[in-house]
Amino acid sequence: MRDPFTTSVTTATTTAPPRAVWHALTRGTANLGVPRGLVLTSSWRPGDPVELHASIGGPWAAASCSHGEVLAAVAPARLTYTLGAGSGGADPAVIVTWEVAPEADGSSVRLTIDDLAPCGSDCDVRDPWRAVAASLVQALDLRSRTEDTPTEH
């Protein structure tokens, strides 16, 4: 049995600048800041709602919506929101915090997941979020390499 409250931290670096990371988290059409097959929507202003739902035909198609609230949005450095609440937004299951800092060759990315309602090892939320952070960095680095590649004319 897990503790009543757990925190998981994942860190990574990317060659992308902080603004590119912010864009991927908040406005990217690929929804790089959530597990594959899910779509996260919000206006990203503190107090505004967040909705996580399955993309059409995706692997999570049978899943119901998850709701939350934006707690902090300081572009391009920090994005914090809750998820896992019902449609009324009460009693969220997780708090997701993305922190982005400039580095000499890109950005450092720190993802903190506060699991407020762990239900045992069979539904651990940490692994999917670690995969999200890895996918985000991989996509940003690929995009950065593609943009830096000179083209011949």
* Number of Cβ within a 10 Å radius of residue 68: 22
Structure tokens at 39: 């779509």
Considering the domain boundaries, does residue 96 fall inside one? Answer: yes
State how many domains the chain has. 1
Considering the domain boundaries, does residue 117 fall inside one? Answer: yes
pLDDT single digits (tens) 3-32? 557 888 888 899 999 999 999 888 855 566
pTM for the full predicted model: 0.77
Which residue did the predictor score with more confidence, 153 or 88? Answer: 88
β-bridge pairing 78-83 and 94-103: antiparallel
Structure tokens at 141: 């680095």
DSSP code, position 85? B
pLDDT of residue 94: 87
CATH code where residue 111 lies: 3.30.530.20
Q: Please state, in angstroms and rounded to a whole number, the distance separating the CA atoms of residues 111 and 133.
A: 7
pLDDT at residue 151 above 60?
no
Considering the domain boundaries, does residue 98 fall inside one? Answer: yes
pLDDT single digits (tens) 105-114? 999 999 998 8
For residues 87 and 65, the answer to whether their CB atoms sit within 8 Å is yes
Considering the domain boundaries, does residue 133 fall inside one? Answer: yes
pLDDT single digits (tens) 74-104? 999 999 999 886 665 567 788 999 999 999 9
Considering the domain boundaries, does residue 153 fall inside one? Answer: no
pLDDT at residue 153 above 70?
no
Q: What kind and span of H or E run contains 80?
A: strand 78-83
Residue 39, C-beta contacts closer than 8 angstroms, at least 6 positions apart: 31, 52, 53, 54, 55
Stretch among 48-57, 91-100, 125-134 having the lowest mean pLDDT: 125-134
Considering the domain boundaries, does residue 1 fall inside one? Answer: no
SS3 (DSSP) at 29: coil
Q: Which range of residues forms the domain containing residue 16?
A: 6-148
Q: Please state, in angstroms and rounded to a whole number, the distance separating the CA atoms of residues 81 and 67.
A: 10
Cis upstream peptide for 76 (omega within 30°)? yes
pLDDT of residue 76: 97
